[in-house]
Structure 1
Amino acid sequence: MSRTKIIATLGPASIDRVDELVRAGVSAFRLNLSHGTHEWHTHAIQKIRALSHEVGIMADLPGPKLRLTHVREGTRLERGAKVVLTHGEGVGDEHVLYVDYPRLARDVQAGERVLIGDGDVELVVDSVSGSDVLCTVVAGGDVASCRGVSLPSTRLGVSVPTERDREHIAFAVDAGVDLIAASFIRDEHDVRAVQREVQAHGGDVPVIAKIEKHEALEHLDAILDVAYGLMVARGDLGIEVPIERVPLIQRRLLMMCRRVAKPSIVATQMLESMLTSPTPTRAEVSDIANAILEGADALMLSGETAVGRYPVEAVRIMERVASETERSGELEGPVELEGRGMGVQQAISHAACILAHEVGARAILTPTASGSTARHVASHRPSQSVLSISESHATLRRLSITWGVQPVHTSEFGSLEHVLKGLMRRMRERGDVASGDLVVITAGVPIGIAGGTNMIRVERVP
């Protein structure tokens, strides 16, 4: 299997094929809480847990996504035409469109842009009168019920998490998901607000910040400082900012995550053509490879596995491309990260990778309570296997989106010598190592306490 992790979104096309998807290469599943009921998602979680205690589950919150309400079938906006956006009850047409956001007229100003759907329909605000927003159509096209509405130059007065998000967070914590992805994050305060809501329900589920708002780009360092990791949500991001900026933003975000050893996810349209085609385009294959070469920890499939005709085939293609890219040698050996100011943990993890490379070790073992040691080692993309050993299933599942980390559950935590003796036996039985192989062990001593990586050791497998 590839060392780059694959996240698959569950949906009608894949709910009965969870086992096939895992065998094909999926390490974590995404539950898109914008769709489906809590009952449906509970059923999905039960199916995943029945299959494996090592596969991660990420609940993706809807966030403050604006949408059109009901629109008359066949409605089309022509360039140069006038249209009113408003909040209220009614069926929209080419003259009036209803948006499910009560503060629309309070937040927008004349001259600001309004994008509908994937940005193919563009309006510009002429004026605001009461609850009505008068717009001119700049780029025309078809509009339909429930299409998204984006305001790329408007600061919305909506709170994160939304009331709907709060309901989903309560469900997700109670259901025992491993990660929560927070949508439309604008700054670190939004991330902290989601984290507080998680804690209010008695949870400690890590929060992934989805970068898809233009405001977030001004607060990336602060967001990354408080979030567990980042998702490059290229769909809405490509609407919020000029599309030609998206590749450079992606590259920047992936490098930022590697520098601080936090997981990064690249999402949206990775294999979009495989919604209906059994084979991808050449551009999609290149997109996957480039994301890996830029340092992505995980790649995410959305509609391809949720509603596409070829969900398992899409995972297989992604796994094949990832494996071939990794075999190219471009990622081998510890990677020097320019400008990285190293603390003790980063320096020891870096040294462990160099040591493993120099002595020809078969694997790097990272006994861990929180997963931090494994993430720091993996950030250097060592050629050796990174085996994360923990007595916590939750910790191991959180690592399901971290590049190259293989989970190993154990209940043998105790003294370092006791742990190493048991680990060597387990690794040999699993086929990860053979007698005579060298392995590098890095961990925090005493074993089993979160934080504080402070030890490197080289052992020969008996």
Structure 2
Amino acid sequence: MTQSNIKIVATIGPATESKKAIRELIKLGVNVFRFNLKHNDLKWHKEKVILVKEVAKSLNRRIAVLIDLQGPQVRLYMPFDKIEVKIGEEVLFDQSVFKVKKKGFFITHPQIVNFLKPNDFFVVDDGRYFFHLEKRGNKFVAVSHQNCIIENKKSINFPEIDFSLKAITKRDVEAIKMLSKTDVDFVALSFVRYKKDIDSLKKIMKRYGMECSIVSKIETRKAIDNLDEIIENSDGIMVARGDLGVELPVEKVPFYQKLIIKRTLKKNKFVIAATQFLQSMIKNRVPTRAEISDIANTVYDLTDSIMLSGETAYGDYPFDAVKILQKTISFNEKLIDDDTRKRFDFKVKGLQESVCASAYEMYLKMKENLKSRLAGFLIFTRTGQTAKLVSRYHPLLPIFTITQDEKTANSLVPYFGVRTFVDKRMAKKAINNLIIRENIKKLKSKKLVKKNQFLITLHDDIWEPEGGTTTIRIVKIK
């Protein structure tokens, strides 16, 4: 299948945990496998991370692994499997519910009660059910705003209340410790609100020797308030529309999706758009037209990656969901306005950014004049920075990127259009004509480029530790 420029992130779960299923997902175009640590034990995650990398190696495909930390998600709990609540009915909201066995529930983080007061509202089950609090004596009761059936251990959110919970839980620390020796490429931090949350994660990762890129999930009001500093201190951003749509009025989510993507690209970081893109395909083989429009609009927002969650983790049609996503991306990304600078006021600072901006300008002119004879970009980079700088412009041709080690190559997987390869000589040698020719020959053997096509090549003749791209060459493929 033709590889799209926008990357696909698929969540692994009961529907796709087998070797055969993983193999099929990779063949269908999945680039990143997400492991949701809210589910399954850590031993399962470790085994499946290893399996994904083994299957990817057998297929000679570069596949990245992202572990998604559980974080301090608040859930309700009660001495029943479920309770039925009528509109206007009061139910006990107190830990004594376990002693008196009255209809009601409590929360997994009791300290939150210290921040609550009468008339505060909260939502249950990903925003499906709305309650407000009232005081009866020294206890709270929750008053339902609709008829509902509440199941045990469902999520509960207090959108307008700022309470302090540590961003990293004990289970998260255990996960980092156990998975630090596996081939994990990205760690996603849930419910991040401040820069200090990211700093805490970095310290824990350093303690256990885990060298990964950090993806901050934007899913709280505080994260929106502190968006710029969170982007600045992260390697990538995830627009986690599920919890964000609970924390904010749902009609505001599309606006904030566009805002987050725009600000992330301007900071030269990658962005993953997530949640409910093909939710109906968990049970149905055919998606809704609204879901297809949602994917297309996210493509036009210029995201780097799109993520599937339940669709591939436990859905009935995981492979069909990936096929539909791939087809929708591939068709619509071709319609992106070539000159994305019209939409983004990219600030160009310093030599390296100037070189990359010039390369993009050259791409626009050559694509117009040479049509199909322009094969794309060929970038030689040690840190990956040059590839990131070109990727943020979202050119519609591949950004073939050569770097010196697997870790750097994998860190570039979620970026728009970037396809990475490793040449270990780059760790010691300056770029020369031989290295350029041999890497072009490799691309040609993989049928990624053709004879008589052209590549816009970026590199530095005298290799420096970082930020050393000074040279643009137009190379004709022989």
TM-score exceeds 0.5: yes
Residue 9 of structure 1 aligns to which amino acid in structure 2?
A: T
Q: Among residues 27, 30, 39, which one is paired with 2:31 in the alignment?
A: 27
The answer on whether the counterparts of 1:367 and 1:447 sit within 8 Å (CA) in structure 2 is no
Count of matched residue pairs: 460
Deviation, 1:139, is 3.4
Distance 1:385 1:448, change over 3 A: farther
Q: Matched residues in 2 for 1:123 and 1:30: separation?
A: 33
User: What corresponds to 2:91 in structure 1?
Assistant: 83
- The SS at the match of 2:425 is coil
For residues 26-425 of structure 1, what are the structure 2 equivalents within 5 Å?
A: 26-53=30-57, 54-87=62-95, 90=98, 95-127=103-135, 132-328=139-335, 330-333=336-339, 335-344=341-350, 345-359=352-366, 360=370, 361-413=374-426, 414-417=429-432, 418-425=434-441
Residue 18 of structure 1 aligns to which amino acid in structure 2?
A: I
Residue 2 of structure 1 aligns to which amino acid in structure 2?
A: S
Deviation, 1:440, is 1.1
Distance 1:146 1:448, change over 3 A: farther
- The SS at the match of 2:145 is strand
Distance 1:385 1:128, change over 3 A: farther
Deviation, 1:441, is 1.4
Q: Matched residues in 2 for 1:118 and 1:293: separation?
A: 27
The answer on whether the counterparts of 1:113 and 1:124 sit within 8 Å (CA) in structure 2 is yes
Matched, 1:459 2:475: yes
Deviation, 1:133, is 3.1
For residues 438-449 of structure 1, what are the structure 2 equivalents within 5 Å?
A: 438-444=454-460, 446-447=462-463, 449=465
CA RMSD, Structure 1 to Structure 2 (Å): 2.0
Deviation, 1:239, is 0.5
- The SS at the match of 2:132 is strand
Distance 1:79 1:430, change over 3 A: same
The answer on whether the counterparts of 2:273 and 2:298 sit within 8 Å (CA) in structure 1 is yes
- The SS at the match of 2:179 is helix
Q: Matched residues in 2 for 1:92 and 1:351: separation?
A: 71
Superposed CA deviations along residues 152-181 of structure 1, whole A, max 9, x for unmatched, are 111122111122221122223222310001
Deviates more, 1:307-316 or 1:191-200: 191-200
Deviation, 1:408, is 1.6
Residue identity over aligned pairs, in percent, reads: 26
The answer on whether the counterparts of 2:382 and 2:408 sit within 8 Å (CA) in structure 1 is yes
Q: Matched residues in 1 for 2:196 and 2:164: separation?
A: 14
- The SS at the match of 1:401 is coil
Q: Matched residues in 2 for 1:224 and 1:354: separation?
A: 27
User: What corresponds to 1:435 in structure 2?
Assistant: 451
Distance 1:454 1:87, change over 3 A: farther
Deviation, 1:141, is 1.2
Unaligned runs of 5+ in 2: none
- Which consecutive aligned stretches of 4+ in structure 1 deviate over 6 angstroms post-superposition? 91-94
Q: TM-score, normalised by structure 2?
A: 0.91
Distance 1:387 1:63, change over 3 A: same
The answer on whether the counterparts of 1:208 and 1:231 sit within 8 Å (CA) in structure 2 is yes
The answer on whether the counterparts of 1:368 and 1:448 sit within 8 Å (CA) in structure 2 is no
The answer on whether the counterparts of 1:29 and 1:58 sit within 8 Å (CA) in structure 2 is yes
- The SS at the match of 2:203 is helix
